[in-house]
Amino acid sequence: MNEFKRKKLELLCESKIVRLYKDYLETPDGRVVEYDFIEHKKGGGAGILLVDEKEYTYLVRQYRNSIDRMSVEIPAGAFNYPEEEGKICALREAEEETGYVPQKVYHVTKLVSSIGTFDETTDVFIGTDLIKGKKHFDENEFIELLHVPISEAIDMIYDGTIVDSKTIAAIFAYKEMKSSGIIK
């Protein structure tokens, strides 16, 4: 199969976090087509599903302007710099947003949540064997911490309360990893 070839990226707009481009590509049959392309300046971030010994998880409820409503998610955030390791980012966000630090960490996947237009990647982790740390929100964060059973978190996916892709991936991965014995 012939490949697409990038002919030109035309910068349309730049903000604090992203750059928006008009992306000109040559198709395998030789035509030039135009796409939108959004580049995440920090490359992305990481999130972590924290699960305690009673199979309860700590989720954060916060406003998201992209959907203009409150969202329930795993603790997550952007990399501090493009080369930051996902695990380091996830552990930092876990403690900042929940006040807990996992002693065991499992990497689930690296996902692209909006592959049609956006290059942002998110490393997804599961953390267990939690110890108390220190919660400290970022200046512009207004977060409500939820402590719910994993079974309730699954129900929240099916009833539309949880719509965030990294959170859905983490919860279902935990269920699978637990049932297959990867997580004890």
DSSP characters for 99-165?
SEEEEEEEEEEEEETTTTTB--EEEEEEEEEEEE------TT---EEEEEEHHHHHHHHHTTS---H
Look at residue 139 in the predicted model and tell me its pLDDT: 74
Look at residue 1 in the predicted model and tell me its pLDDT: 57
pTM: predicted TM-score of the whole model, two decimal places: 0.90
Look at residue 13 in the predicted model and tell me its pLDDT: 97
CATH 3.90.79.10 domain extents, the chain: 44-179
Look at residue 5 in the predicted model and tell me its pLDDT: 94
- What length is written for the chain? 184
Q: Is 134 exposed, middle or buried (0-12, 13-18, 19+ CB in 10 A)?
A: exposed
- Vertex 155: Cα angle to 152 and 158 (nearest 5): 160
CB 152 within 8 A of CB 127: no
pLDDT < 70: residue spans in the chain: 1
CATH class (in words) of the domain with range 44-179: alpha beta
